[in-house]
Amino acid sequence: MMTRRNQSGISLIGLLFWAVVVAFVALLVMKIVPAVTEYQTIKTMVDKVAKDGGSTVPEIRAAFDRAQQVEYGVEAVTAKDLDITKEGDKIVVKFAYNKEIPIVEPVYILIKFEGRSK
């Protein structure tokens, strides 16, 4: 007489569910990573410009424009968007911007980035 063994494993419905979840997470990552990379590039540019860009506001803006021409994919911030101040004997460059990332046509993710030079 044969005995029935319990089957173990994942069902087709379970497999499809997890495939959809993994695909959605991958979609989010693929859409968000370029925005975060752009922020890191802008932060690096701002740090460099604050350190070596000059001592006046026009010089710093011009240095940022030159750096922006060299860097690939920096479109969120221009030199006009920079807030340049002096704290003590140190030049501080601040920036802030919002990035809207479309996920599916009526759904967007809004990420608010802000940073300042070291």
**27-77 pLDDT per residue, tens:** 999 999 999 999 999 999 999 998 887 778 888 999 999 888 888 878 889
Quote the DSSP letter at residue 106.
Answer: T
Whether the pTM exceeds 0.75: the reply is: yes
Calpha distance 49→67 (Å, rounded) = 8
- CA dist 65 and 78 (Å) reads 7
Q: What share of the chain is helix, strand, coil (3-state, %, to 5)?
A: 50, 25, 25
Say if strands 83-87 and 90-104 run parallel, antiparallel, or are unpaired: antiparallel
d(CA 71, CA 47): 14
Look at residue 116 in the predicted model and tell me its pLDDT: 92
pLDDT more than 70, % of the chain: 97
Is 80 exceeded by the pLDDT of residue 3? Answer: no
Beta strands 83-87 and 107-116: pairing type?
unpaired
Comparing 4 with 108, the larger pLDDT belongs to 108
What pLDDT does 17 receive?
95
**Model pLDDT, residue 1:** 59
Residue in the block written with tokens 């005995």? 3
